[in-house]
Amino acid sequence: IYVIYLWQQHQMSFGLNMSSFWLLFSGAITAIPLILFSAGAKRIPLSLIGFIQYVGPTIMFVLGIFVFKEPFSIDQLITFIFIWTGIVLYSLSQYIKLKKHPVAKTL
CB 51 within 8 A of CB 91: yes
54-81 per-position pLDDT tens digit: 888 889 999 999 999 999 999 999 999 9
CB 52 within 8 A of CB 91: no
Beta strand segments in the chain, E: none
Which DSSP letter does residue 14 get? Answer: T
C-alpha to C-alpha distances, 40 to 37, 46, 88, nearest whole angstrom:
5, 11, 23
**Which helix or strand (DSSP H or E) is residue 5 part of?**
helix 2-8
Query: What local confidence, expressed as pLDDT, does residue 64 receive?
Result: 94
Residues of the chain with pLDDT > 70, as a percent, come to 89
pTM reported for the whole predicted model: 0.56
Q: Using alpha carbons only, how large is the chain's radius of gyration in Å?
A: 24
